[in-house]
Amino acid sequence: MIGTSPATLQEIEQRVLWLATAIVHHANRVRPNPEGLKVGGHQASSASMTTIMTALWFEHLRAGDRVSVKPHASPVLHAINYLLGELDGRYLTTLRAFGGLQSYPSRAKDPDPVDYSTGSVGIGATAPIWGALARRYVRAGEGRQYSLVGDAELDEGAVWEAVLDPMVAELGEVCWIVDLNRQSLDRVVPNIGATRLQGMFDAAGWQVLTVKYGRLLEKLFTLPGGPALRRRIDEMPNPEYQRLLRCTAAELRVRVPDSPELAALVEGLDDDTLVAAIRNLGGHDLDALGDAFAAIDDTRPTVIFAYTVKGHGLATEGHPQNHSSLLTADQLGELATRVGADVDEPWARFPEDSDAARLCAEVAARLRREPVPAPPVVTVPTDFGRTPGGTATTQAALGRALLDLTRSAPDAARRVVTLCPDVSSSTNLGGWVNKVGVWSARERVDWFADDPETILHWRERPDGQHLELGIAETNLVGLLGELGATWSRWGEPLLPIGVLYDPFVERALEPWSFGIYAGGQSILVGTPSGVSLAPEGGAHQSISTPSVGLEQPGCTAYEPAFAIEVEWTLLAALAQLGRPDGTSAYLRLSTRPVDQSLAAVPADPAARERRRRQVVAGAYPLRRSPGRPDVTIAAMGAMVPEALAAADRLAAQDVAADVVCVTSPGLVFDAVQARAGRASADSWVLEAAFPARRAAPLVTVLDGHPHTLAFLAGINQVRATHLGVHRFGQSGGLADVHRHHGIDADSVVAAALDLR
């Protein structure tokens, strides 16, 4: 190796700064913009990270490490990848253009290596924590998991939910680097509270390192008057410090001294040294950063607070409104002159015989990873061949189906991993947990193993398949997404299933959606759901989750009515995980006991398979009237018994009613779009469930917002009434609550008669 000489490393740092700035400049001031819309980009935010990322990539990073880059520093990542030969130069002019470099780092869409998608504040920062757990779970490789975090990002609650989870304190491979530039989007933050933040990390068991001052300031601190200079900088408020960055040397000589000894020190410094000293923070000092990286304790998570200047090295340096500001053409030219770049050839690489070029080549070789092997195909059965009887709930059917999987397909079952935020027993996963055990990095003693009254056995061991986090849904789905990405990171597909109370799905929606965007394939189970959880009252009765499932990209949502449908839809969803063309799924389950004979599962094998295919495709005819129907009742989930009861009562009044069970409104909607040529999906389910020859006025009913099924009326252009829940619920018995919301059998009958 040629070694990373300070001069060579600084030359690379300056080139990275130039490239990151030029990428944003070209997108906004050079590339044609016929619409006149703001393109955006963050030159100042990138500049504050340039030294940190240069030091990390070119001195300390190893091939097994993974890095989550703060969203607004994406141009720095692309600049580094370009210098390392990982990004074709033609993309440097495509920031935020269609098909080009994404606004924020995207693992799925950017053309260069991105370890973690970021952009949703707080979610990208915590992703490496869950990536570390996922890597440990599949026992794949080694390496640190870095998060490059903006200081304002620490305002997000998701950050602290992750930091405080008991599992995290054991993850020594996790390292966060906080870009402490003390500016947010709108202003200089008056008091960033660094000491308080450091104490919070320390209390959570993290190693806390601080890189506050660079070598120049540290040297000045040893001179006469140096302690007064340190005290002055330490004690001044953030806005005052930021104002000094905008001052000339002459102005600094007036503003900085507050004592005779400090005045004497300042007087003895030349102008260049004085100006450089004010901005000589540790986050812009390669040596100081190197010392911090070398001090990382790999036995516990580490956070490094690196003091920086937003816009460091740019004409906008330290300005309180520089967040989205752009350099002028003249300012860009001045930057080019200072860093040895050429405005006319902005993308020029280092000369091949230069030390900088050789170092780039060596680093590229050091960081080069072996291609991820193609994941093995996980074979999941489609049907266990069992027909549930008696009375059961769809929630309980989930636990039964998982146990059946261990018997029918043990190879697939071994790849299943379940997660809960402290609700395993209350969501009927007790049998599964007893069967497969709880995952832990090391085996722990089960002190209740010999207690005959203990029903749920908490056996923690490295081969357990259930993970229990604290009561924080954001953590649950963050880990769910990373477990769902192991097929693409290490060629080891998992079948992750996260189970939480359905009313809290919306709390978890943003990180779960972001995990899907980043390529994590998983199953989210919301249970119990709806107002059918009657005695719990409005706080625990979900209303809008059916439409959430309908609208979520990259996800198939199911709301089964019967236990057999839970089995079929769960198996279908599992079969779509851990593969390049895979998708996620959301299952909305209920605690409502339902007579399973109402499912009328065909005994003939061919007819049974036909029913299964229709269930998985989104809808099926549960009951057909002898002739052409007078009305069709389309019901979903827990409301199917009401639909059937209403059909019986209508028949007694000589009103013929078909009953269609909708298992996935999203899939049915896709079929409608496909029939119109607006989507690529199978449309055969429309003819199976809603054939034109049986078109009739339509009543839809579900335990959720009625608009979820309202589109069904457009399949055959019929008159319709849509029943559902559109206001907060009440505590009470099931019959009372259903009547209150107008989704009981009486309401269905009345709606059908009104449509005749």
Question: What DSSP assignment string belongs to 536-572?
Answer: G-GGG--SSHHHHHHH-TTEEEE--SSHHHHHHHHHH
Note whether 578 and 521 are within 8 A (CB): yes
- Residue 603 has a pLDDT of 96
Q: How far apart are CA 639 and CA 560, in angstroms?
A: 10
What's the pLDDT score for residue 159?
Answer: 94
pLDDT score of 434 = 86
What's the confidence (pLDDT) of residue 1?
A: 35
Does the pLDDT value for residue 2 go beyond 80? no
Assess whether pLDDT exceeds 90 at residue 261: yes
**Per-residue confidence (pLDDT) for residue 192, from 0 to 100:** 60
Q: What percent of the chain is modeled with pLDDT above 90?
A: 80
pLDDT at 3: 52
Give the whole-angstrom CA distance, residue 105 versus residue 103.
Answer: 7
How many whole angstroms separate alpha carbon 169 and alpha carbon 78? 32
Torsion of CA 54, 56, 57, 61, to 10 degrees: 170
- Residue 448 is predicted with a pLDDT of 77
* pLDDT bucket at 500, cuts 50 / 70 / 90: very high
pLDDT at residue 125, rounded to an integer:
92
Of residues 713 and 122, more confidently modeled: 713
Place of tokens 């469930």: 689
Check whether 659 has a pLDDT greater than 90.
Answer: yes
Indicate the pLDDT class of residue 189, thresholds 50, 70 and 90: low
| Residue 310 · residue 325 · CB < 8 Å | no
Q: Which residue would you say has higher pLDDT here, 35 or 67? A: 67
Distance of CA 324 to the CA centre of its chain: 25
Going by the DSSP 8-state scheme, the letter that residue 658 receives in this structure is E
What letter does residue 599 receive in the DSSP assignment?
G
DSSP tally for the chain: helices H, then strands E = 29, 20
Comparing CA positions, the residue from 509, 518, 485, 399 lying closest to residue 137 is: 485
Average pLDDT over residues 530-543: 81
Q: Which ranges constitute the DSSP H helices of 102-173?
A: 123-138, 157-163
C-alpha span between 432 and 425 (Å, rounded): 10
DSSP 8-class letter at 158: H
Decide: 169 and 204 in contact? Cβ < 8 Å: yes
Q: What is the pLDDT of residue 604?
A: 97
From 577, 665, 561, select the one nearest 617 (Cα to Cα): 665
User: What is the rounded average pLDDT of the residues 77-89?
Assistant: 98
Residue type, 586: Y
The predicted structure's pLDDT at residue 570: 98
Higher pLDDT, 533 or 7: 7
Q: How confident is the model at residue 191 (pLDDT cuts 50, 70, 90)?
A: low
User: 324 falls in which pLDDT band (50, 70, 90)?
Assistant: confident
Q: Is the pLDDT of residue 425 over 80?
A: no
- CA-based end-to-end distance of the chain: 85
Single-letter amino acid, residue 529: S
Average pLDDT over residues 393-402: 95
- Global pTM reads 0.93
Q: Return the pLDDT at 70.
A: 95
CB atoms within 10 A of CB 691: 13
Number of Cβ within a 10 Å radius of residue 502: 27
Ranges 120-124, 168-172, 659-663, 712-716: which has the least confidence: 120-124
Relative orientation angle of helices 605-617 and 563-574, to the nearest 10 degrees: 70
Per the omega criterion (within 30 degrees of 0), is the bond before 528 cis? yes
